[in-house]
Amino acid sequence: MHFYSPCHFHFVGRVRPSGCPTDIKKILTMPVFLAKLLDRHGFFFLHFPSMFQIKDLHASLADGTEILKGLDLSIGKGEIHAIMGPNGAGKSTLSKVIAGHPGYKVTGGSVEFFGKNLLELSVSERANSGFFIGFQYPLEIAGLGNEEFLRAAIDAKHKALNLPKLSESEFKEKMDNAMQLLKMDSRYKERGLNEGFSGGEKKRNEILQMAILEPALSFLDETDSGLDVDALRIVANGINNLMNAERSVVLITHYQRLLDYAKPQFVHILINGKIARSGGSELALEVEKSGYTC
Ligand code: ADP
Ligand code: MG
């Protein structure tokens, strides 16, 4: 991927400027030039200053094995990105490192979230500043009621942000709306957190958490795995409903089928701890057809 960042715009693409326009005629023909590039290269886009920027990120396991090997990623407000890549490439490691999982050590690079150094924040500070991770393998916590957990999570977030605590009725309304959006029966409120949930139910429950916490940036790690066709549509619809101009989502997935419903503007291929290639939504279709040959 080539990265060129004049002023406050990011130009990302396979564009190698070969020379600058030197006269007015060339400036006037610029739109035509850009249209031709778009046509010829298939992948060229602009996006605004990012809310989230990873530069040259290196991270290792506790035993020193390097998993992330110089990863760059930039996400703007209101964007849907997809990250695809072979098993073991480092996709889940990336989400966990950003979330602040203690099992990984960042050995180089930077992660900025709304201009702040995310890597200096504790796990809960990262969450309270708007980062959310939907786990590939959500944990079960027996005895902790699902609703009780969500109530505690939203209360902690409001407290950290100096927002007023939600009243009983406000929380109930929020919970009911979110459960309706995800077509979840109210009995899931009382059950233990993910306790005895099927794989698909756990994934749906991750999106319920996202709906309650309303994060600015969500990394959803293989949220589509284990979902039947109807559940996939419901979950994708839930994700789309939670999107707005201020929120962004990164969908880590192996399959185009999720991306048919929750359409990414940007697709990245992560191979061996690095983003090997980035493009538009057509890149996911190419991967589906030809695999991860770059
Ligand atoms: P992906 O999500 O792209 O399939 P992961 O990020 O889960 O890949 O894993 C990347 C590599 O790091 C894999 O080889 C995996 O076995 C290894 N790995 C990740 N976490 C651990 C861990 N806690 N202990 C040992 N190996 C790990
Ligand atoms: Mg994974």
pLDDT in tens, 131-147: 999 999 999 999 999 99
Q: Dihedral sign for Cα 146, 139, 94, 253, please.
A: negative
Range of the domain at 237: 50-290
pLDDT at residue 64 in the model: 97
Residue 190 lies in a domain: yes
Phi, psi of 291, rounded to the nearest 5 degrees: 80, -165
Residues with CB under 6 A from ligand 1: 61, 67, 85, 87-93, 103
Mean pLDDT of the chain: 88
Phi, psi of 115, rounded to the nearest 5 degrees: 80, -5
pLDDT at residue 19 in the model: 41
pLDDT at residue 50 in the model: 86
CB 109 within 8 A of CB 119: no
What's the CA-to-centroid distance between 98 and ligand 2, angstroms?
A: 14
C-alpha to C-alpha distance for 205 and 195, rounded to whole angstroms: 11
Residue 83 lies in a domain: yes
Residue 77 lies in a domain: yes
The DSSP bridge pattern shows strands 80-84 and 104-113 to be: unpaired
Q: pLDDT above 90 covers what percent of the chain?
A: 81
Give the containing element (helix H, strand E) for 220.
strand 217-221
CB 202 within 8 A of CB 235: no
Mutate to test the pocket of ligand 1, among 69, 84, 92 (most ligand atoms within 8 A of CB): 92
What's the CA-to-centroid distance between 93 and ligand 1, angstroms?
A: 6
pLDDT at residue 45 tops 70: no
What's the CA-to-centroid distance between 86 and ligand 2, angstroms?
A: 9
What's the CA-to-centroid distance between 26 and ligand 2, angstroms?
A: 48
Q: Which ligand has the minimum distance to the alpha carbon of residue 270? A: 1
Q: Which ligand has the minimum distance to the alpha carbon of residue 94? A: 1
Confidence category of residue 30, pLDDT binned at 50, 70, 90: low
- The CATH number assigned to the domain holding 91 equals 3.40.50.300
- What tens digit of pLDDT does each residue of 158-184 get? 999 999 999 999 999 999 999 999 999
pLDDT at residue 146 in the model: 97
- What tens digit of pLDDT does each residue of 208-257 get? 999 999 999 999 999 999 899 999 999 999 999 999 999 999 999 999 99
Query: Which residues have a beta carbon within 5 Å of ligand 2, which is an ion?
Result: 91-92, 136
Residue 26 lies in a domain: no
CB 124 within 8 A of CB 161: no
Residue 12 lies in a domain: no
What's the CA-to-centroid distance between 221 and ligand 2, angstroms?
A: 7
What's the CA-to-centroid distance between 212 and ligand 2, angstroms?
A: 24
CB 73 within 8 A of CB 55: no
Token pair recorded at residue 215:
């994060």
Q: Reduce the DSSP state of residue 19 to 3 states and report it.
A: coil
Which of the two residues, 59 and 31, has the higher pLDDT score? 59
Residue 42 lies in a domain: no
pLDDT at residue 122 tops 80: yes
Closest CA to ligand 1's atom 20: 93
Confidence category of residue 15, pLDDT binned at 50, 70, 90: very low
Token pair recorded at residue 49:
């200053």
The 8 Å CB, 24+ separation contacts for 142-145 are: 142/192, 142/195, 143/192, 143/195, 144/192, 144/193, 145/189, 145/190, 145/191, 145/192, 145/193
- What number of other Cβ atoms are within 10 A of residue 141's Cβ? 13
Q: Which ligand has the minimum distance to the alpha carbon of residue 87? A: 1
The residue among 55, 73, 49, 61 whose CA lies nearest residue 106 is 61
Residue 126 lies in a domain: yes
Q: Which atom of ligand 1 is nearest to the CA of 90?
A: 6
Mean predicted confidence (pLDDT) in 191-219: 96
Token pair recorded at residue 112:
């900025």
Closest CA to ligand 1's atom 17: 88
Closest CA to ligand 1's atom 8: 88
pLDDT at residue 128 tops 80: yes
Number of structural domains found in the chain: 1
pLDDT at residue 76 in the model: 97
Residue 200 lies in a domain: yes
Mutate to test the pocket of ligand 1, among 61, 93, 95 (most ligand atoms within 8 A of CB): 93
C-alpha to C-alpha distance for 219 and 130, rounded to whole angstroms: 11
DSSP-assigned states of every residue in 37-55: HHHHHS-EEEEPPPSEEEE
Range with the poorest average pLDDT among 20-24, 123-127, 172-176, 207-211: 20-24
- What tens digit of pLDDT does each residue of 266-290 get? 999 999 999 999 999 999 999 989 9
